Amino acid sequence: MTVVALTIAGSDSGGGAGIQADLKTFQELGVFGTSALTAVTAQNTRGVHGVYPIDAQGVTAQIRAVMDDFNVGAVKTGMLFSANIIQAVAETLQSYGPSALVIDPVMIAKGGASLLLDEAVQAMKELLIPLASVITPNIPEAEVLASMSIKSDSDVVEAANRLLKLGAKAVVMKGGHRRQANYAEDLFLSAAGERFTLRSEWIETKDTHGTGCTFSAAITAQIAQGKTIAESVITAKHFIQAAIADGLTLGGGHGPTNHWA
């Protein structure tokens, strides 16, 4: 049986992040990918040159078109941009009953461009995070969502617990912005009490564009195929580690992680 996943995210014309990374990852992991675009970005490896949001009605219509016709095994969200779009996504998904939902709370591109308006943070916390099967913030995103600064291991645990309190069933705190000696460490925590860390060797590379999108898409593909959240996170971690190690030197800026890892 063909397994289907849905990504609700922004387009990256450079092909390394966003919808394009999600669909490539779904394909690579044996899942048929469908998509609802929230925004089009004019973007390449050097940065984001423009953001053109889709109106909320258009986002809703895309989600409905997919959900009404396919048996969607898991959904992920990436760049959502505005409070209006977040509200539309949350209401539309809820109207179909609970689905496995992976939230990558995309906020700022590596080059500094804003992919989520400040006004949208509250909507993400109140409307969307309570629907999450798992949320995958990096440290700067977790700091915004948990309203605290993160400097130590105990801060990471505290912030993760705050995200669980917002209603997410599980959280992966990605450690890529907090380099340890020669490794990075992610923390997995679930509302059901599971807890583990995933440690991986630090890879020195500039070609990491789309890492977060690819990781969350890999989790989504695994969940769609029937794995538990924890199993999905562990498998996705192996996938993204290999993808970073095999990053592509393309363009003049940050090349993409390799989706054919």
Known catalytic residue at 228: no
Q: Do 44 and 69 form a contact (C-beta atoms < 8 A)?
A: no
Q: Is 210 a catalytic residue?
A: yes
Nearer to ligand PLP, 136 or 222 (CB): 136
CA 67 to CA 57: how far, in whole Å? 15
**Which of 11/222 has CB closer to ligand PLP?**
11
Q: Which residues contact 17 (CB under 8 A, 6 or more apart)?
A: 43, 109, 209, 210, 212, 213, 256
Name the minimum Å distance from CB 108 to ligand PLP: 7
Which of 78, 210, 247, 255 is an active site residue?
A: 210
Minimum gap (Å) between residue 251 Cβ and ligand PLP: 12
Active site residue 211: yes
Strands 4-12, 32-44: pairing is parallel
**Given 213, 214, 247, 257, which residue is catalytic?**
213
Is 38 catalytic? The answer is no
Closest contact distance (angstroms) between CB of 193 and ligand PLP is 30
Active-site option among 76, 125, 174, 237: 174
- Catalytic residue status for 2: no
**Alpha helices in 68-126, H assignment, sequence order:** 83-95, 121-123
Sign of CA dihedral 150, 153, 154, 160: positive
Reported in sequence order, the residue ranges of the chain that DSSP labels E, i.e. its strands, are: 4-12, 32-44, 47-53, 72-77, 101-103, 134-135, 170-173, 183-190, 195-201
Which one, 88 or 190, has the nearer CB to ligand PLP? Answer: 88
Q: Residue 114 or residue 180: which is nearer to ligand PLP going by CB? A: 114
**Catalytic residue flag (residue 47):** no
Can you give the binding site for ligand PLP, defined by CB under 6 A? 9-10, 12, 17-18, 41, 43, 78-79, 106, 109-110, 115, 209-213, 254
